Amino acid sequence: MADFQDMLKKMEEKYKQKYGFAVFSLDFKESKNGLIISGRVLTEKQKSETEEGAKKIYKGAIENRIKTLSDSRSKELGWAIVKKDLIDLRSRFVDSSVINDKILKKVRASQSVKGEILRVLMKQDDQLLVQQGDLTMGWVGREDVILKRISLRKGWGKGIFVKPGELIAIKEPRKKLILEAERFLGVKYVLGAKSEKAIDCSGLTQLVYKNAFDVILPRHSWDQRKMGVVIDSEDVETGDLIFMTNKKTNIKHVGILEIAADNMKNIIHASVGSGGVARQDFGEVAANYNILEIRRMIKK
């Protein structure tokens, strides 16, 4: 089994370099029917990557029994409640003694507010790897939360998750999305932020949909782009999400489409160029962004 251990070692090194940690607690056992892989990894991508790597080494049948910590159905290490007004979730493990504003700017994955329930996946030093109710994962300081021994699953992940190729039925008017988005107008843009103090483009769309209709979008724009259904530009409605890339930087971007009373199209979005959250004419936005796709998440 030395080849498999070499494969795991390389995968661990790759993910440690990328995220500052790795979870590859795996066992390879050969049976009369083939190879059985059991144990745990962090994500579904790592699970499939392990199986693909094993297929290059082992030519027989492979049974994948790997469990992923990020699967919301899996067992968690524990639960936590955010005790500060606002905390950052970091995309990689960074020793708390060296974290500063410059590093935080690069690794901020999202934010959580006071009272929010987090699922604890693992501990390392004085930090916890947690998962928000929208399934976003990140590292937080132990001092930022209150750990709970009892299960808080009933209060975690509440809402309706969007899915690829499907629309969520709503009873209230789409205008409610715009009214919710208007509450954020003027809020400054900060990459990875998600609050009424600072926010990024996908944080805005996520919060607007959650607050308006209890609909849960993925945290990041290109994950949001996988959801719902594609809409032709001639059939757009208020609340559709418009996905773009910046013409100068090629940075990915998302905004909320609004069909105004005069049938003019506006986009409400959060960006550096617009000075934070702003409502802009569709043509003004199109002058600075490549419009790639419009997707719908809800239906009447």
How far apart, in whole angstroms, are the C-alpha atoms of residue 63 and residue 110? 35
* CA nearest neighbour of 221 among 286, 156, 136, 94: 136
Q: Name the active-site residue from 47, 90, 210, 269.
A: 269
Query: 117-124 and 127-131 as β-strands: parallel, antiparallel, unpaired?
Result: antiparallel
Is 269 designated active site? yes
Cβ within 8 Å of residue 44, ≥6 positions away = 68, 70, 71
Q: Is 201 an annotated catalytic residue?
A: yes
* Residue 76 backbone phi and psi in degrees, to 5: -105, 160
Closest Cα to residue 156, out of 216, 212, 84? 216
Between CA 176 and CA 188 the distance in angstroms is 22
The C-alpha atoms of residue 181 and residue 199 are separated, in whole angstroms, by 12
Residues 187/119, Cβ–Cβ less than 8 Å? no
Both tokens of 125, joined, read 């030093």
Quick check: helix, strand or coil at residue 246? strand
Question: CA–CA separation, 167 vs 161, rounded Å?
Answer: 10
Would residue 16 be called left, alpha or beta, if left means φ above 0 and alpha means ψ between -120 and 50 degrees? alpha
Catalytic residue among 69, 170, 187, 201: 201
Helical ranges in 44-114 per DSSP H: 44-57, 101-107
From the candidates 174, 220, 225, 253, give the one annotated as an active-site residue.
Answer: 253
Q: Which of 47, 128, 41, 36 has its CA nearest to residue 82?
A: 128
Residues acting as catalytic residues: 201, 253, 269
